[in-house]
Structure formats: C-alpha cells, structure tokens
C-alpha cells in the first residue's frame, strides 16, 4: 500500500485543486485507487464541484469527500478558513459506504453496511453529520465486528443545507458515509484525550447520576484535595502549595511550579467503560470534565452519568497542547501514513510526523470517533479528543 497527501490553503479553489492534484500524481506516479478529500472554509460551499474536479483529474477509483470545520494536512491544522486536504492511496481493498439507521424500539438497525464485508475488512473510516445517531451504530460495530479499527468524526454541526458529503458521483447533506480498508492493509486505531491518569483507580461507592458522593469509601472531595494539595502538604515561601505528589505519585517537573488552582482547573475524571481483570491504562478510560466541587456536601459533579461500582481514576489535562498525545498512544507501533480526526488547535499531527509518519491528512471535528479499551478497542464517540488511523 502506497500513500500520498496534499494540503492547499490557496483561497482560489481552482488553483488549490491544481496544486493538490499535481502533488498527488507526482507522489504516486499513477492514478490512485482511493481518495479522501476534506474541505473547509469558503471552499466547503463548493464541495461537490471541488470533489468532482479532483475525481476527474486524478481518475481515482473510490472517492470520499466531506465538508469540515477545519482540515489537517501534514503538521498543519487549518480551522474555519479555506483549505483542501487530500489523502490518496494505492490499495487493492477500498470500499465506500453510505449509512442510514432505523430504530426499532431500543434496537438499532444499520442500513448500508454489509456485515460479511466488514468481517473481511481491517478498518473503517466513518464520517457523519451532527443529527445522525452515531452511538447505536458504534455499538453494533463494536459488538459484531470487534476486530475492526474504527475512526472518524462528526463533520460539521453548523446546520448548512449545502452538501456535506460526496461518495463517488453522489452528494449528500445528511446521514453518514464511510470507507472500508483491508484486509491486507496493516492498521492501528488510536485515541488521545489530552489527559493522563494520576493516583490509582477507585470504585465509585456512592453516586446519584452525575454526582459522585464517595470514591473508595471516602468523600469524593477528599480525593480532589489529595490531588490538588498533595498527601504531604508543604507550603513555599510565598504561601502557595507547591506539592507535586498525589498519594505518592509524582506529577513530574511539568507540574512542579503549578499552584492548586492550576491543578484544579486541569483535573478530569476518567471512567472505565470496559472493565477487565488486568491493570488499567490511559486507553481504558473515557475522560470527562469536572463540574461543581461542593465542599459542603463533599460531592463532585461530572459531565456524565455514572453507576455505583464503576471504576474511575482522576486525570490531569495537558497544561498546553504538546502534540504528543497520539504519538504516545501509538507506543512502539509504526506506520507511514495517518488519517487524523481532531479537536481545534491541538497540533496532534506534529507528534506523528516526528515519529516518521509523514503522509498525514484529516479534518477538525466537533466530535471524534476512536477506540476505547484494549487493542483494537471498541469504537466510542469522544469530545475534545484526537483520533487517528495509522497505516
């Protein structure tokens, strides 16, 4: 499998298309088998026209296009400005999808997916508009096709009546589209939520919906204080607490100069959605912001409903975007190309580029699809995260 990618920020759409097509054909040396095109800014209003010209000039086989809030190309991220980012590949297995869903009571019936074909594929890139019910689709994919690496995102939530998606010659303003790859393609799906576990996993021992009363048998606010103030409280000369330990866990030099208010603002709660018997790592948690910390009631609110008995662990969000989250999630894995779906202004593609993955394209999403749990993980719909398919 060979890859090429190109990004143009030229404000004139025909000029941008010419730049991109020239780069793709020069890199591949022949017509690609598959292209994915992401268009943002004023260019998104001409999605169908831009995609039609690219498809015609490249003579590509399978074609997918989407209007997006922003585009990703190489190490760059362009948000709400004119840009076109294209990913192309030579592969013997690429199939486009057009997805719809019907709800029969609580059961989700997915239309447009050949489950036998999914069994024979390695990865699915899934793009939807905001009104499409992704959660039941992801549940079906996780239960029936646990081997499948699934990434993607919600393309745009601004409610435009202009075309949002292109599949070959067809244009759509709603629903979802997808691209199946494999089975011969080596893939890995990864997720970065921009936060890392601190302390130890704990069991929720008392809660009411999104309000946590006690963790591991202790008032919830006690655990917040242990993180914010540290277990061996010590004050610096200016009277501010400079402790950088949490119950014996070193937060590292990055947090050595952090005052309690800074730590508190970056505090999150990770919730295990797929419990297992072995130790938990960052990939096992869905990370949520903390809401009200009620010191009178000794409770904390979380941006999610949680059941008693759930395993949770506090996380600290990065103080400033490092761009290393996806590279860290990749671990010792490798690859040469990536499709990235991210939050604005995070720069996660730069970390992948430094790892030698130099053919990168994607889009900025309102919400992101990526794996949760042990490899290959179950697909989950995230907020304010970054996901990638590594090839």
Using DSSP, state whether 305 is helix, strand or coil.
coil
What is the C-alpha separation between 192 and 370, in angstroms, rounded? 9
Q: What are phi and psi of 265, to 5 degrees?
A: -65, -25
What is the C-alpha separation between 341 and 151, in angstroms, rounded? 8
8 Å CB contact between 219 and 298: yes
What is the C-alpha separation between 32 and 2, in angstroms, rounded? 9
Please tell me what DSSP assigns to residue 122. Answer: S
Q: What pLDDT is stored for residue 254 in this prediction?
A: 66
- Six-digit token string for 20: 């991109």
Q: What pLDDT is stored for residue 391 in this prediction?
A: 92
pTM of the model: 0.88
Sign of the C-alpha dihedral, residues 14, 15, 18, 19?
negative
Q: What pLDDT is stored for residue 321 in this prediction?
A: 65
Q: What pLDDT is stored for residue 163 in this prediction?
A: 63
Please tell me what DSSP assigns to residue 241. Answer: B
8 Å CB contact between 165 and 66: yes
- Six-digit token string for 180: 């199946």
Q: What pLDDT is stored for residue 309 in this prediction?
A: 95
For the chain, the structural domain boundaries read 2-193+322-390, 198-317
Q: What pLDDT is stored for residue 233 in this prediction?
A: 41
- Six-digit token string for 352: 């992948």
Q: What pLDDT is stored for residue 294 in this prediction?
A: 92
What is the C-alpha separation between 305 and 328, in angstroms, rounded? 29
- Six-digit token string for 204: 């929720």
- Six-digit token string for 142: 């996780």
98: enclosing H helix or E strand: strand 94-104
Q: What pLDDT is stored for residue 251 in this prediction?
A: 57
- Six-digit token string for 274: 């797929």
Using DSSP, state whether 296 is helix, strand or coil.
coil
- Six-digit token string for 362: 């994607």
Report cis status (omega within 30 of 0) of the bond before 376.
Answer: yes
What is the C-alpha separation between 342 and 354, in angstroms, rounded? 18
Sign of the C-alpha dihedral, residues 83, 78, 359, 171?
negative
8 Å CB contact between 123 and 189: yes
- Six-digit token string for 246: 């949490």
CA distances in angstroms from 60 to 5, 94, 167, 329, listed in the order given: 14, 11, 12, 32
Q: What are phi and psi of 315, to 5 degrees?
A: -130, 155
| Positions of the chain with pLDDT lower than 70, given as ranges | 108, 110, 156-163, 184-186, 230-254, 256, 278, 320-323, 332
- Six-digit token string for 82: 């004119």
138: region left, alpha or beta (phi > 0 left; psi from -120 to 50 alpha): alpha
Q: What are phi and psi of 14, to 5 degrees?
A: -60, -40
Task: Put the strands of the sheet holding 83-90 in their side by side order.
Answer: 2-8, 83-90, 34-40, 62-67, 165-167, 170-172
Of 14, 19, 21, give the one whose Cα is nearest residue 35: 21
The Cβ of residue 237 has, within 10 Å, a number of other Cβ atoms equal to 6
């Amino acid at each position: 499998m060979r890859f090429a990618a190109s990004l143009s920020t030229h404000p004139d759409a025909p000029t941008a298309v010419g730049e991109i097509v020239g780069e793709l054909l020069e890199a591949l040396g022949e017509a690609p088998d598959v292209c994915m095109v992401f268009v943002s800014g004023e260019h998104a209003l001409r999605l169908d026209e831009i995609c039609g010209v690219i498809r015609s000039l490249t003579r590509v086989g399978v074609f997918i296009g989407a209007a997006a809030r922003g585009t990703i190309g190489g190490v760059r991220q362009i948000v709400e400005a004119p840009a076109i980012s294209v990913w192309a590949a030579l592969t013997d297995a690429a199939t486009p999808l057009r997805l719809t869903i019907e709800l029969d009571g609580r059961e989700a019936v997915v239309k447009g997916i050949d489950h036998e074909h999914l069994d024979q594929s390695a990865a699915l890139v899934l793009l939807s508009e905001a009104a499409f019910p992704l959660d039941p689709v992801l549940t079906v994919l996780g239960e029936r096709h646990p081997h499948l690496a699934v990434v993607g995102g919600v393309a745009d939530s601004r409610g435009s009546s202009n075309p949002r998606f292109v599949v070959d010659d067809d244009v759509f303003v709603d629903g979802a589209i997808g691209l199946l790859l494999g089975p011969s393609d080596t893939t890995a799906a990864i997720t970065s939520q921009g936060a890392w576990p601190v302390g130890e996993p704990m069991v929720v021992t008392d809660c009411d919906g999104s309000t946590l009363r006690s963790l591991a048998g202790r008032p919830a606010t006690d655990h917040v204080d242990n993180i914010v103030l540290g277990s061996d409280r010590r004050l610096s000369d200016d009277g501010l607490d400079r402790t950088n330990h949490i119950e014996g866990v070193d937060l590292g030099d990055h947090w050595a100069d952090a005052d309690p208010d800074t730590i508190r603002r970056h505090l999150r709660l990770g919730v295990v959605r797929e419990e297992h018997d072995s130790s938990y790592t960052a990939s096992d948690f869905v990370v949520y912001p903390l809401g009200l910390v009620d010191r009178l009631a000794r409770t904390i609110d979380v941006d999610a409903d949680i059941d008693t008995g759930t395993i949770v662990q506090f996380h600290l969000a990065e103080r400033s975007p490092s761009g290393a989250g996806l590279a860290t999630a990749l671990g010792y894995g490798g690859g040469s190309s990536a499709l990235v779906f991210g939050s604005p202004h995070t720069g996660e593609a730069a970390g992948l580029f430094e790892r030698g993955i130099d053919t990168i394209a994607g889009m900025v999403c309102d919400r992101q699809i990526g794996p949760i749990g042990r490899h290959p993980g179950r697909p989950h719909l995230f907020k304010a995260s970054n996901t990638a398919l590594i090839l």
